[in-house]
Structure 1
Amino acid sequence: MASGGFRPGAGRPKGAKAPKAKPIKVAADIKKAARQSGLSPLDYMLIVMNRDDVEDDRRDRMAIAAAPYVHARASDLAGGKKEQQQEAADRVSADGKFATPPPPPIVKGE
């Protein structure tokens, strides 16, 4: 049984193009209101999200769109296993038996 390597006919055909990204459709009233406000997109999303007179569906969409710019992901804050292990090792070695000793004093020649 073969494993890995070249297989005839496998992969993307030569000359094939990647599909084009579909443009995001935004309602005309939302575009018009955003342009007239003169705010940054994030500020506009936060204002719309916090208004009580706006329909819930629109507020939800604004909250989803603004969340990555306002809150950090939990995985970014905690770091990976290696970072956590390094921080624990640094805490242990900061003082006590395994602490880095101070450098020897510099004595100028006589």
Structure 2
Amino acid sequence: MDINKKVGERIREVRKKYNLSMMQLADELGISQPRLSRIENGDQEIPISLIQQFCERFDIPLSSFFRSLEKDEKAGDSLINEQLEQVLASLNDEQKKALYVFITSFQK
């Protein structure tokens, strides 16, 4: 996922957690509501200074903010791996062989 989308999603998540409207947060950050909307949607890059201001507003260490983005990505990978393991466990040997042939065809 694009970094701008990840940052925007995290900002939206925190804003909603604190029950703030876009207008309220935009006012606190000194930006327009449409700009905040573009940031939350991942359509506009956000300067690091604005991320820092956001983190200070919610008492989030800047390093934790970025670590949380990485954790989300890893959690998504873990979920996919877990789901794949469940699907594989439900297949019989013949289905597993067919799936293996199908998957290895992409490597050629």
- TM-score of Structure 1 vs Structure 2, range by shorter chain: 0.3 to 0.5
Higher-RCO chain (CA-CA 8 Å, sequence separation at least 6): 2
Whichever of the two has the greater Rg, that structure is: 1
What TM-score results when the alignment is normalised by the length of structure 2? 0.33
Between Structure 1 and Structure 2, the one with more helix by share is 2
